[in-house]
Amino acid sequence: MKRRRSLFLHLNQLKILLKKFTLAAMFVLSLILMLMSKNQSGMLDYAASGGTVVAAPLIRVLVWPAKMITKSYEYLHNLWYIQQDNDLLRAENDALHKLQDRYKALEIENKLLTDLLNFVSLPKVGFISARMVAEESNAFSHTIVAYVGDKIVNKGDVVLANGSVVGRVDKKIHNYAKVILLTDISSNIPVIVENTRIRGILKGDNTSYPKLVFTPLDAEISVGDRIVTSGISGVFPAGLPIGYVSSIVKNEIKVKLFASLEKLEYVKIVNYDIGGLLEENADDRR
C-alpha cells in the first residue's frame, strides 16, 4: 500500500515538472520567434515567398475551370450577337438587291419611253459662284450686286442660293451683275404648286414674303405646299425650288422662300441660255 502511494506521488511530481518545463519551453520559443521577427525578417520573408511559390500552381489549377467556363460563356454570347448582326446584314443586302433590280428596270423603262416620245433632255448648264458686294433693300426695290469678274453673265440668268431660286440677273456692268430678287416689286415668276400642279404667278411686293397670285378661285392650296418654277414663258426652267406656302388669309397667299435673303453672302449664277430669248420677247413687246 505504501509502495503504491509512493509511486503515485512520484507520478504527480513528474507531471507537475513536465507542465512547468512545457510552459518554460513555450515561453522561450515565443521569445525566440519574437526576436527572429525583428532581427531576421528576411528569413521570414523568404519562407513566405517560398510558400507562395508552392501555392501559386495549386491556385492556378483550381482557378482554371472557372476561367474556362467564363471564356466559353463570353464566346457563346458574342457568337449569338454575331449571328443576329449577320441576319440583319443579310436582310439589308437582299433589300438592296431588290432596289437595284427595281432601279435597273426603271432605268430601262425610262429609256424606252424617252425613245418612244422622242424626248430631248435638257442640256448641261454652266454656272459661276459670285459674292454679294452690295444690297438695295427699301420700299421701292429689292436688289443685290454680285461681283462676277470677267465671267460671262447674261440677262435672265437664274440666281440660286442654297439650291433654291432667289432671283435673276437684270444686267451686267463691268465686273458686277445686278440681281433682281424674288421679293422685288418688279419680280413676276411663273410657278406651280408641286403636289397639285396648280399654276400661278409669284409676285414680289418688297416684303420678305412674296404673294402667289392668279391662281384659280377653287384651287386647293394648303399651308406647307411646296412652290417650284413652272417653266412657262421661258423665264425660268421648270422644277426649280422656290419656297412653300406660309399663310393663307382670305385670297392672299404668302410664300416663304427656302433661301434666307437676309443672310445672303454667296450666290450661284446659272446660265440656262435663255438670255437671248428674253431680249427677243422684250423687243416684241415694244
Query: Angle at CA 191, nearest 5°, toward 258 and 245?
Result: 45
DSSP letters of 95-111?
A: HHHHHHHHHHHHHHHHH
CA–CA dist 60, 45 (Å, integer): 22
CA–CA dist 236, 201 (Å, integer): 12
Which of the four pLDDT bands, split at 50, 70 and 90, describes residue 22? low
DSSP letters of 41-67?
A: HHHHHHHHHHHHHHHHHHHHHHHHHHH
CA torsion through residues 194, 198, 199, 200, sign: negative
Cell readout for 116 is 418612244
CA–CA dist 201, 235 (Å, integer): 12
Task: Tell me the per-residue pLDDT of 148-194, one tens digit each, with 9 for 90 and over.
Answer: 999 989 888 999 998 899 999 999 999 999 999 999 999 999 999 99
* Confidence at residue 284, expressed as pLDDT on a 0 to 100 scale: 46
* Confidence at residue 13, expressed as pLDDT on a 0 to 100 scale: 66
Asked whether 216 and 198 are in contact (CB, 8 A), the reply is yes
* Confidence at residue 88, expressed as pLDDT on a 0 to 100 scale: 85
- Whether 40 has a pLDDT exceeding 60, the answer reads no
How would you classify the pairing of strands 226-229 and 211-213? unpaired
* Strand, helix or coil for residue 273: coil
Which of the four pLDDT bands, split at 50, 70 and 90, describes residue 12? low
CA–CA dist 2, 262 (Å, integer): 133
CA dihedral angle for residue 5, residue 6, residue 8, residue 13, rounded to 10 degrees: 140
The better pLDDT of the pair 16, 40 is held by 16
* Confidence at residue 165, expressed as pLDDT on a 0 to 100 scale: 94
139-143, 204-208, 266-270: least confidently modelled range: 139-143
Task: Tell me the per-residue pLDDT of 68-118, one tens digit each, with 9 for 90 and over.
Answer: 777 777 877 788 888 888 888 888 888 888 888 788 878 887 877 777 777
- Whether 282 has a pLDDT exceeding 50, the answer reads no
* Confidence at residue 124, expressed as pLDDT on a 0 to 100 scale: 64
* Confidence at residue 77, expressed as pLDDT on a 0 to 100 scale: 75
| Cα-based distances in Å from 83 to 66, 80, 243, 279 | 26, 5, 48, 68
The residue-averaged pLDDT of 244-270 equals 92
Cβ burial of 139 (10 Å; 0-12, 13-18, 19+) is exposed
* Confidence at residue 125, expressed as pLDDT on a 0 to 100 scale: 72
Angle separating helix axes 2-39 and 41-117, nearest 10 degrees: 50
98-102, 117-121, 135-139: least confidently modelled range: 117-121
Give the pTM: 0.55
Phi, psi dihedrals of residue 58, rounded to the nearest 5°: -65, -40
62-66, 200-204, 218-222: least confidently modelled range: 62-66
* Confidence at residue 52, expressed as pLDDT on a 0 to 100 scale: 60
Cell readout for 17 is 515538472
* Confidence at residue 1, expressed as pLDDT on a 0 to 100 scale: 47
- Whether 250 has a pLDDT exceeding 80, the answer reads yes
Mean pLDDT of the chain: 79
58-62, 73-77, 240-244: least confidently modelled range: 58-62
How would you classify the pairing of strands 211-213 and 199-203? antiparallel
* Confidence at residue 139, expressed as pLDDT on a 0 to 100 scale: 72
Cell readout for 252 is 392672299
